[in-house]
Chains A and B, each alone.
Chain A
Amino acid sequence: MPNKDNRFINQEGKVLMLGNEAVVRGCLEAGIGYVAQYPGTPTSDIGETFQKILREQPDLREYLVHHWAINEAVASSECAGAAWTGCRALNPMKHVGLNVASDALSVIALNGPNPGAMVIVVGADPGSLGSHQEQNERFYTWMLHFPCFEPHTPQECKDFTKLAFELSEKYDTVFEIRTSTRSAHSRGFVELEPIKKGKVKGQFERNIPKYNSLPPYAINNHIRLYERIEKIRENIPELGINRIISGSNKIGIITSGMPFGYTMEALNQLNLNDVPVLKLGMIYPLNYGEITNFIKNLDTVVIIEELEPFLEVKIGEIAQKEGIQTKIIGKKYFPKHNEFSTGLIATNLAKIFDKTPRIEMNNAIEYFNSYKEIIPSRFPTFCAGCPERATLYAILKATNHLENTVVCGDIGCFVMSFFPPQESSDLIICMSGGLSAAIGMSTKTDQKVVAFIGDSTFLHTGMAPLAEAVGYNSNVLLFIFENSWTAMTGHQDDVLRFLINQGFSIEKICKSIGVPWLHVEDSYNPKHLISSIEEALEEKGLKVIIIRRECALQAHRWRMQQIRKIEVEGKKVQRTYYHITGCQMCYECARILSCPAIRKTEEDGYETMKIDDDRCVRCGVCYEICPNTAIHKSIIDALEVEVPFREI
């Protein structure tokens, strides 16, 4: 394995990069000085790549600062602060992160990032591949006026990022790079250019009208923002960022980003190689002349874009203003939901151009549909040993399978609670939306109201609704999962970790804010937890149970490392095994706890549950809960060193 990733060191050459890596490379070539973000798919690995580079090349710390911010709005304001000293700042976020950041960004856009530059990267997620929904966040670019580039290849990810910084500084305007789950995680060739050192230190120059978008300056800054956007709009053709693939057909296509690739391959499949295509690298603002020249001699222009019609509306507006009669179609044929594919575009273009789609494609779809019922489902689920899974088990037991009980879920690994077989979460809104919903709901129902939150989300936006729940003494039972990691996004070395290392305690925060009923529990001790839940549900007012147990993935990794270390020293380690004999097939472990390390098998002609030893992490919860004491624990080399899970 290389000690250093040369793709972020070399000054020239052709390398393979993911879209996100190319964004990072573009930043390095643009002279980046500051990066702040809250992790979220598909942009988390931008921050992970910066962290890796800073580890491998500590010299860069002289001018490059990377922060895992506490939430997206904080990250955006951090970047603005850094830019206002004259440096170039990058602010990545996922599409729903932009909802959180928009409060800050709406003002930063008015003020402008000068004397520095600020670029946001927004990772869209058509198809909801790594998010709780697939909102079309492109309308923000129009609402808040971020000129927006949409790259298609890793090369464009790099080139557009670099250009965005130049233009952001030149026009005193926040620029956006809009990636998607596909473009962020597609790999392709990137031509490298020299890396430029960022600014080490700058200076904030006082300028009250520019940095105070309040009356009377709010209106002036709004006017100034329009002036900046109009200048950018005029100059788009000079950027060479939009391109035309020419053709003589009277039906043309306008598209951008990932759908461009699918469209070109679909056209080739249908032998429609005379169709003119305008590929927009910049989706907001649009240059009137560029669009007019492309569409005015066509009979029809087809707009191919994922999710709600954004380009179709903006291009329709231009056509109407310029008095162009060309027919504009898009969402009449293409869905407003889900991710596109070459097959979907080929099918719809075949209708528009009156062609027959390839027989191989239709056969593949038809044959797949003939057997797909037989494919067993594979939901994402909690890892073996997950303390959240064990908590859900305890809740199911304490409430007689959620009888007269509502569970307000939240974002975190436990977002998966609604999946079968546990099906133990009733609703989901957004980061810390569960507790907020519970506060309202508890005043209007006599059902028992339970809410979830994780420790990272607690820091993100969770303390505010907790304060309200204390203030009104809401009749809610809140579970705070203190697993000491931002686990769902991949265990980043983030501010939660820094706080933990400095002695941060959710228990202390709850006490000082005045939580009236507070228990700290370990879900690896399910019986104790069940009685604690039963007690809580008898009480009126706010109850908080903190589940303090490290994320099982990290805990298991740490434990295995310790064991290997001890064994390398030539010492023996105590080994624990769980095994099943005398199984009554009650399914308590497989359906209610639903541990993925336990499965049904046959032994000597009898059905029994069996523990997969290579998947079991030795949490011992199944052993604790088996109603028939059929799960047994064996300790081998009992006199040797014991390596338990670490305390957090």
Chain B
Amino acid sequence: MKFSETDIINTVIAGTAGQGVITLKRLIEFAAQKANVDIILGSEMHGLAQREGAITSHTRYQKKAFNDPRKNLQSPLICYGDADLFICLEPVETLRRGVFASHKTSFVINKRTIPGVMITADLEEYPSLEKIKEILHGYSEQVYMMNATELSLNHFNQNQQVNLIMLGFAIATGKLPFIELEHYEEVIKEWLRNPDYNIKALHIGLEEGQKIIKNS
């Protein structure tokens, strides 16, 4: 899909507390700034959502503003059906935010499940990954899954690079146009601890992501 510079690019990022949803969102926004984007607006959740809760963030940018302000990006929240990209650090959270998706949405999903307390108590059922994929195919064909947690554990011996791997995976879809890889790398160096680890994770996600997308 080809984007024009005046298009509004909409990304939903979903996951659970402590997975790095907000960090991932900030990286996209600060990288968009490096890419000289005219308008950036994004909304994140703080506070109550921390306690094992479901976390979602919206981030939106528009490379070139229209002269007519009525046509420009004005709100940090995406409208129903308008997301170009879903980055999901936990599978079932994709379904929870599905109302923002449509036929144009690409989904990148980490396969590692984090059961809520009603699942661990065995009082509710967690749908299978196949079922989740089947439902999402009702929106669009571009549903991609990766075991980013396993990749992070294998490469870094910790799960803290999952969000950077998923960012690389997201870049592989081409749904974050006008932002170049070096913009992300600059921002990682400026804002994160262990930039070498995180840049490596970004590249792993990108390369693995390209393979997954090509083979699907």
Contact = CB atoms under 8 A, between A and B. Distances in A.
Interface of A: 1-2, 16, 18, 41-42, 44-45, 129-131, 153, 181-182, 185-189, 245, 258, 260-262, 264-269, 273, 341-343, 346, 358, 360-361, 363-365, 367-368, 371-372, 374-383, 413, 416, 419-421, 488-490, 587, 590-591, 594-596, 598-600, 614
A409 B82 CA distance: 41
A570 to B, nearest CB: 19
Nearest to B99: A368
Nearest to B66: A268
Nearest to A382: B51
Interface of B: 16-17, 26, 29-30, 33, 39-54, 68-71, 73-82, 92-93, 95-96, 98-102, 115-127, 131, 135, 138-139, 159, 190-193
A416 B75 contact: no
Contacts of A265: 73-75, 79
A383 B52 contact: yes
A365 B121 contact: no
Nearest to B58: A186
Given A380-B49, A594-B120, A367 B139 contact: yes
| In the A-B complex, the 5 residue pairs with the closest CB atoms | A41-B47, A364-B81, A261-B75, A130-B47, A380-B53
Contact of A187 (B29, B51, B75, B80): B29
A93 to B, nearest CB: 14
B121 A591 contact: yes
B86 to A, nearest CB: 12
A599 B119 contact: yes
B44 A587 contact: no
B154 to A, nearest CB: 15
Nearest to B69: A245
A495 to B, nearest CB: 20
B123 A421 contact: yes
A360 B102 contact: yes
Contact of A42 (B16, B42, B46, B122): B46
A117 to B, nearest CB: 28
A1 B191 contact: yes
B92 to A, nearest CB: 6
Contacts of A2: 190-191
A10 to B, nearest CB: 14
Nearest to A132: B48
A374 B124 CA distance: 10
A377 B99 CA distance: 16
B135 to A, nearest CB: 5
A374 B43 contact: no
Given A341-B77, A420-B123, A189 B131 contact: no
Nearest to B116: A378
Contacts of A260: 74
A185 B45 contact: yes
Residue from B17, B80, B92, B101 whose CB has the most chain A CB atoms within 10 Å: B80
B3 to A, nearest CB: 17
A363 B103 CA distance: 10
